[in-house]
Chains A and B, each alone.
Chain A
């Protein structure tokens, strides 16, 4: 009898029920971030004002961040929606990191009592991060982590 292969750290055996949740997770992540990236990309000045409002980045980093963030959201969302498996998971990994950054940035802003806008979907919509923001971002984060660990080929797991 051949020895058992070592268990993977980042993989779980595929249970059918969980696999059915992969598509909803991909669609939710991909569509929300496509929807969020587009207005930010069209109005980088508004986004730069919003990023400044979080009082986290030094001023010289605000312009590069305002330009890179929507493009990164766009490419990661596209990868999650239509990319091959490795790119789908890489997109989900990037989005999970971005969501962690968003939640941390909003939490520090609230703790410091700053008057700032979420800017989650671009523009100056006057929306302040509240419980709903953390719920939405928390759920999207779970979807991204779920994709990261579940969207694997069954074949590789059996190796």
Chain B
């Protein structure tokens, strides 16, 4: 096929792409098929069970005993229990700009340095001696933010009981018109 110099650029691009696909379509599809098979094989052979098809960022590890809550009223009920702790997993700057009342800042990104001191305080609080009833609730900015789930999984793995994630997060709390502390 020849190209006339008068042909416009979009048409030229279309013709070039068409010829490339005719020439290279089959090997490209072969590479795509090999990649799909490799992806499936590698994922099914992973010792941790692989990435779930229904992936959701921040979903706590399946092995961690963490309960997800989605209602702001439920969060308030939990906060009324003695010794309840609410943790803001977001960046400290965002925490300072506004957070859910009574929340403490424990950024998930600083977990390595701050988990130890926090656990000591958490295990010494009043509710903890009454049958481990006092809940620890984490939240992040919104449901797609992975930090709250990551923090909750780490706390549960470190031995805390009654760990919850408030999934809708701070943005939802704001949308509901709930009070904000600064």
Taking Cβ atoms with an 8 Å cutoff, the residues of A that contact B are 6-10, 41, 44-45, 48-49, 52, 55, 59-60, 62-64, 66-68, 70-72, 74-76, 79, 86-87, 89-91, 93-94, 148
Contacts and interface: CB of A to CB of B under 8 A. Distances in A.
Contacts of B158: none
Contact of A49 (B27, B52, B57): B57
B19 to A, nearest CB: 5
Q: Is the interface of B mostly helix, strand, loop or mixed?
A: helix
A94 B32 contact: yes
A7 B2 contact: yes
Contact of B51 (A44, A75, A79, A148): A44
A72 B30 CA distance: 11
B53 A63 contact: yes
Contacts of B176: none
Nearest to B16: A9
Interface in B8-40: 15-16, 19-20, 23-24, 27-28, 30-32, 34-36, 38-40
A5 to B, nearest CB: 10
Contacts of B31: 72, 75-76, 79, 87, 90-91, 94
A48 B53 CA distance: 11
A20 B24 CA distance: 23
Contacts of B53: 63-64
